[in-house]
Chains A and B, each alone.
Chain A
């Protein structure tokens, strides 16, 4: 199976080298593509110096566009599957093969989930996760145990949709929309690492904004969009 690992990178000079080195060591059988999203630090320089495979946005467009560029590349080059693999070291390459096996079984979407066998810890963040899970349950009738996991693998049909769609970003509402449109999904238990360097986007205001956006998108706007 031809699988592409899409690594969106925005100002990841501290992480990118280590992430790619681990990836090349643990998943040498798969191709990877770094999508440098207009980084202002040395991310691009490092990629050139190390001879990594990458494309660069001329300006910063955001994570959604970066992942979409990867999907576009995967589509144009005839990949059977593509996975978003974060450039900050949170995702573990050990699980990629397991997820790829699920695609081969015929699932359209495979999610690297933290909560298949394990219980969600009780925190504000997980409360948010539960709310999104509930919203998805209401609209699709399916239970997605880790809707906010960023580790998502898509098959050929999904790649085509994601490459050309407007506003199908790497968020839970996209998965909900695709599932409502008939896509099948499977969840694989994974462990995720904490970020080792750099800053996370998540602060209180962003989280509230995120939750509202997801709720409106999944519960209301979903009915007006094409799945």
Chain B
């Protein structure tokens, strides 16, 4: 077992523990944990079957398998950020709509002096 394998297995286990703790404290919706659990599983599979990674990375033409792993992880994180950003936009829109409705429902009419 080389260093990278150990690091990836640890990262996978620690992330999994973190996710389970969050679920226990009800700070995460079940649907939202799915991504991270799959992420853990992916790290775990990669560290258990490094040969497969070596083979694919060689086929594609990466200089080293670790570069290939970095690229995959960066891509997965980018996807996550993109989805989060879309969600933030949507939430902002919802907050705006709510506040506008609240404002209009609580209109203060003009009082002539």
Contacts and interface: CB of A to CB of B under 8 A. Distances in A.
B110 A51 contact: yes
Contacts of B96: 61, 65, 68
Q: Top 6 A-B pairs ranked by shortest CB distance?
A: A51-B111, A53-B110, A55-B103, A69-B100, A57-B99, A65-B96
A74 to B, nearest CB: 11
A48 B108 contact: yes
Interface in A32-73: 35, 47-48, 50-59, 61, 65, 68-69, 72-73
Contacts of A68: 96, 100
B93 interface: yes
Contact of A72 (B93, B100, B112): B100
Interface residues of B, number: 16
A52 B103 CA distance: 15
Is the interface on chain A under 10, 10 to 19, 20 to 34, or 35 or more residues?
A: 20 to 34
A54 B108 contact: yes
A124 interface: no
Contacts of B95: 59, 61
B91 to A, nearest CB: 13
A163 to B, nearest CB: 9
Contact of A57 (B103, B107, B112): B103
